[in-house]
């Protein structure tokens, strides 16, 4: 879009990164993805403690940091904005040395899941489909078999590798922050660290960003406001419900710009000053469109047409309601069932609660429906803003 320029393109097919490797003199294999195979050629397929074949100084995380630093070395006085995206932690789940050995799999938490994939699958048709459809080869370059069949030990080994990739990102993000400090820009820069989605990582016998469980939607959000007015709130952990929709309004608020009406989110500036707005949201909503996953499974397996493949969720501290178009809904009592194994949507004792949360979701969708022109009237003189007329 106008006003944006790429400082490090990952697409198409990661070719800019592989070309960077070639320019560094690294012998990229005929199948470039082989750089993410285990360094130990005798390693078993799937999750491994082995390091990847690419050295840490040539990893895609190192490359992304270099792209960001190349940009930052340019503007020293002009205002600037950098969206620095790291690919990791992301499949394939393998870390370069020494990050592969940072964490002991035995210390990783065991997966939160039913006793078997079959028991998990019984909860809902969509979940049942995922049990068979998600394969390990989408997450490990040498993966074999179903993700649902990973042992607890394999899941913990995978998690240790995932944590290693997180530490690698942390180290390279530290390089960027160090540059801001040495160049005198740190105390003039708003820093936001977040992510685009979560990861099942073995919970509920799943891998990836799928379905309706919190693991796929719960993401980090760290904000460092350099303003002195934020000093009293530094280090605060906020447990209020926030979302990606709040990031843009927060940035606009910080630079003194207005948030367009079409934005659904709200600035998080009060939290950065140590305040919690009295009218802050008490629940969070999220949605997932599963029509684009696994080709035409919605028709061939689930018996749905392309316009029936969406789900919407409303969740607070006590309950979670999952609404589908054609498939049956889900309702979880989070106080009694935090792992979300027992669907009580059809339990008469919860009928009133299910109706209450369905109505909440309808009200939410009505309020945040498409509103590009909401608040305007079409007149012979063009669009008239009804809020100031």
| Residues 83, 163 within the same domain | yes
| Residues 149, 291 within the same domain | no
- Identify the pLDDT of residue 306: 82
| Structural domain includes residue 384 | yes
Would you tell me how many other CB atoms lie within 10 Å of the CB of residue 32? 16
Q: Would you say 111 and 203 are in contact if contact means Cβ atoms under 8 Å apart?
A: yes
| Structural domain includes residue 257 | no
Helix ranges (H only) for the chain are: 15-23, 60-72, 117-121, 125-133, 152-182, 247-254, 269-272, 297-300, 351-367
| Structural domain includes residue 239 | no
- Identify the pLDDT of residue 42: 94
| Residues 2, 138 within the same domain | yes
- Identify the pLDDT of residue 43: 94
| Residues 175, 295 within the same domain | no
Mean pLDDT of 126-151: 96
Describe the chain by its helix, strand, coil percentages, rounded to 5: 35, 10, 50
Compute the distance between CA of residue 48 and CA of residue 201 in angstroms, rounded to an integer: 14
DSSP 172: H
| Structural domain includes residue 361 | yes
| Residues 204, 297 within the same domain | no
Give the mean pLDDT of the chain.
94
**Nearest alpha carbon to residue 44 among 139, 136, 142:** 142
Q: Would you say residue 49 has pLDDT above 70?
A: yes
Q: Would you say 339 and 112 are in contact if contact means Cβ atoms under 8 Å apart?
A: yes
Q: Would you say 143 and 45 are in contact if contact means Cβ atoms under 8 Å apart?
A: yes
**Nearest alpha carbon to residue 290 among 324, 252, 331:** 324
| Structural domain includes residue 226 | no
Q: Would you say 196 and 115 are in contact if contact means Cβ atoms under 8 Å apart?
A: no
Tokens of 45: 């397929």
Domain boundary among 163, 195, 212: 212
CATH number, domain with residue 295: 3.30.1120.10
Q: How many alpha carbons lie under 13 Å from residue 253 in its C-beta half-sphere?
A: 16
Tokens of 366: 């009505």
Would you tell me how many other CB atoms lie within 10 Å of the CB of residue 206? 25
- Rg of the Cα trace of the chain? 23
Helix (H) or strand (E) holding 385: strand 382-385
Q: Would you say residue 293 has pLDDT above 70?
A: no
DSSP helix/strand/coil, 389? coil
- Identify the pLDDT of residue 193: 98
| Structural domain includes residue 296 | yes
**pLDDT band at 386; cut points 50, 70, 90:** low
Q: Which domain holds residue 80?
A: 1-212
Q: Would you say residue 182 has pLDDT above 80?
A: yes
| Residues 196, 288 within the same domain | no
**pLDDT band at 378; cut points 50, 70, 90:** confident
| Residues 109, 17 within the same domain | yes
Looking at the DSSP bridge assignments, the partners of residue 194 are 221
- Identify the pLDDT of residue 389: 43
| Residues 204, 302 within the same domain | no
Q: In the chain, what percentage of residues exceed pLDDT 90?
A: 82
Q: Is 228 left (phi over 0), alpha (psi -120 to 50) or beta?
A: alpha
| Residues 143, 25 within the same domain | yes
CATH number, domain with residue 65: 3.40.720.10
What is the separation of C-alpha 358 from the centre of its chain, rounded to a whole number of angstroms?
25
Domain boundary among 173, 194, 212: 212
Look at the chain and report how many structural domains it folds into: 2
Q: Would you say 69 and 176 are in contact if contact means Cβ atoms under 8 Å apart?
A: yes
Compute the distance between CA of residue 288 and CA of residue 130 in angstroms, rounded to an integer: 14
- Identify the pLDDT of residue 262: 85
Tens digit of each residue's pLDDT (9 = 90 or more) over 189-247: 999 999 999 999 999 999 999 999 999 999 999 999 999 999 999 999 999 999 999 99
| Structural domain includes residue 252 | no
Would you tell me how many other CB atoms lie within 10 Å of the CB of residue 82? 13
| Residues 165, 301 within the same domain | no
**pLDDT band at 76; cut points 50, 70, 90:** low
| Residues 6, 142 within the same domain | yes
Domain boundary among 212, 238, 273: 212
Q: Would you say residue 376 has pLDDT above 80?
A: no
| Residues 31, 115 within the same domain | yes
| Structural domain includes residue 262 | no
Q: Would you say residue 377 has pLDDT above 90?
A: no
């Amino acid at each position: 879009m106008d006003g944006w320029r790429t400082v490090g393109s990952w697409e198409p097919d990661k070719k800019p990164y592989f070309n960077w490797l070639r320019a560094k003199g690294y012998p990229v294999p005929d199948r470039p993805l082989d750089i993410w195979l285990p360094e130990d050629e005798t390693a078993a397929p799937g999750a491994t403690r082995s390091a990847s074949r690419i050295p840490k100084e040539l990893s895609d995380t190192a490359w992304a940091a270099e792209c960001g630093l190349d940009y930052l070395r340019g503007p020293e006085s002009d205002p600037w904005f950098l969206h620095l995206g790291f690919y990791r932690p992301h499949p394939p789940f393998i870390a370069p040395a020494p990050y592969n050995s940072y964490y002991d799999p035995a210390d990783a938490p065991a997966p939160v899941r039913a006793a078997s994939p079959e028991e998990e699958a019984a909860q809902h048709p969509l979940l049942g489909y995922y049990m068979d459809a998600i394969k390990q080869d989408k997450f490990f370059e040498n993966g074999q078999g179903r993700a649902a069949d990973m042992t607890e030990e394999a899941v913990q080994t995978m998690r240790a590798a995932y944590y290693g990739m997180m530490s690698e990102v942390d180290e390279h993000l530290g390089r960027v922050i160090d540059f801001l400090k040495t160049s005198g820009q740190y105390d003039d820069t708003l820093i936001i660290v977040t992510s685009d989605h979560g990861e099942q990582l073995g919970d509920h016998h799943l891998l990836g960003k799928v379905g309706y469980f919190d693991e796929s939607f719960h993401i980090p959000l760290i904000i460092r406001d350099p303003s002195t007015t934020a000093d009293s709130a530094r280090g605060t952990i906020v447990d209020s419900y926030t979302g990606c929709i709040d990031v843009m309004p927060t940035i606009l608020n910080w630079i003194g710009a207005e948030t367009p009406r079409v934005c659904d989110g709200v600035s998080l500036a009060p939290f950065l000053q140590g305040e919690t707005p009295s009218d802050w949201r008490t629940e969070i909503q999220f949605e997932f469109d599963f029509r684009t996953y696994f080709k035409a499974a919605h028709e061939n397996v689930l018996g749905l047409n392309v316009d029936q493949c969406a789900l919407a969720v409303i969740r607070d501290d006590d309950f979670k309601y999952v609404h589908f178009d054609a498939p049956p809904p889900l309702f979880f009592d989070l106080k009694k069932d935090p792992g979300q194994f027992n669907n009580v949507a059809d339990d008469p004792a919860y009928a009133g609660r299910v109706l209450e949360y369905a109505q909440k979701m309808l009200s939410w969708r009505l309020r945040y429906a498409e509103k590009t022109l909401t608040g305007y009237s079409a007149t012979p003189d063009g669009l008239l803003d009804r809020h100031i007329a």
